[in-house]
Amino acid sequence: MDLLWQGLVNGILLGGLYSLMALGLALVWGVLNIVNLAHGAFIMLGGYACYYMFSGLGIDPFVALPVTMAALFVFGYLLQRHLINLVIRAPMFNTLLLTFGLDVVLTYSAQIAFSADFRTINPSYAGAHFTLLGATIPLVRLIAFAIAIALTLVLWVFLARTRLGRAIRATAQNLVAARLYGVEPRSIYALTFGVGAALAGGAGALYGVVSQLNPYIGVSLTAKSFVIAIIGGLESPLGVIAGGLILGLVESMTSLYIGATYTDVASFGILVLVLIVRPTGLFGRTT
């Protein structure tokens, strides 16, 4: 029973971080119709940015987090504005391939710049933890969880309430109509992609605190983000939270009761099942 409770807590804490990881991917996918295969590489870059601010300049990782997000926003904005916008009207394969190429470039650049060694962002309070009803809760994981959920809610409010958020949603729904109402898609696309990259950067900074960084983590994080986006659907950040929590719980339960080597089978098995039974995601509208 204690084991189950601890497993549930671990799964939920992990799931919060997963939601933030997937959020940027789902946003870009929903609005620009691009599945960004370099998303995991953005997460990796965010992790390294935070790591170097912490180890080089001694800045607390949670203070470095907004700086990391701002840097990744600029990076994503410029990338979309000057590169991805050039192929946005090409068939789906081409944008998929372009982002794959970007992923390769970023991964190898990271290997050259940062070396292939494992890095962890390790502040003095990294080992702190407390117990809740018998379950051990590491402090940094709880903070990471809270920040992840908070950022997701901020995005939700931004999309739902602000003028810019409405413009982004309008572009996602109908590009032609949005243009007629004065939305400039070039900058909206760049902005959306920038926000997606910033969210990835934030997720990377948190990932660096709770886990280990190396240049090759990108691919598997992209794959996980995919799974979450599919489970949660692309329509609302709240769906993505649910998707992240489900994946976190499934992984934690699988490693607890079946074996750690089966976590990928379980998550991808769910993915295949969800796609066959409900192609629009568990929480998406049926069309």
Partner 1 sequence: MKPSLVRTGIAAGLVVLAGVPWIASPSIVQFGINMLLLAALAQGWNIIGGYTGYASFGNSVFYGLGSYGTAIAMLRWHLPFGIGLVLGTVIAVVFAALFGRAILRLRGHYFAICTLGLAEVMTAIVSNLEITGRNTGLVLPLLRGDVLFYELSLSLVVVATLIVAWIAHSRFGYGLIAIRENEEAAAAMGVDTTRYKVLAFSLSAAISALAGGIHAYWITFIDPVSAFDIGLNVKMIIVTVFGGPGSILGPVLGSFVLSGISEILSTNVSTVAGLFFGAVIVVAVVFMPRGVADLIRRFDKYRWRYFAENVRANRL
Instruction: Give contact residues for partner 1 (rule: CB under 8 A).
Output: 29, 35, 83, 85-94, 96-98, 100-105, 107-109, 111-112, 185-186, 189, 223, 226-227, 230, 261-262, 264-265, 268-269, 271-272, 275-276, 279
In the complex, the smallest distance separating the C-beta of residue 200 from partner 1, rounded to whole angstroms, is 18
Nearer to partner 1, 235 or 264 (CB): 264
In the complex, the smallest distance separating the C-beta of residue 102 from partner 1, rounded to whole angstroms, is 6
Nearer to partner 1, 5 or 257 (CB): 257
In the complex, the smallest distance separating the C-beta of residue 37 from partner 1, rounded to whole angstroms, is 9
In the complex, the smallest distance separating the C-beta of residue 239 from partner 1, rounded to whole angstroms, is 16
Nearer to partner 1, 66 or 101 (CB): 101
User: Minimal CA–CA distance to 196: which of 77, 61, 19?
Assistant: 77
Nearer to partner 1, 38 or 50 (CB): 38
Nearer to partner 1, 111 or 212 (CB): 111
In the complex, the smallest distance separating the C-beta of residue 29 from partner 1, rounded to whole angstroms, is 7
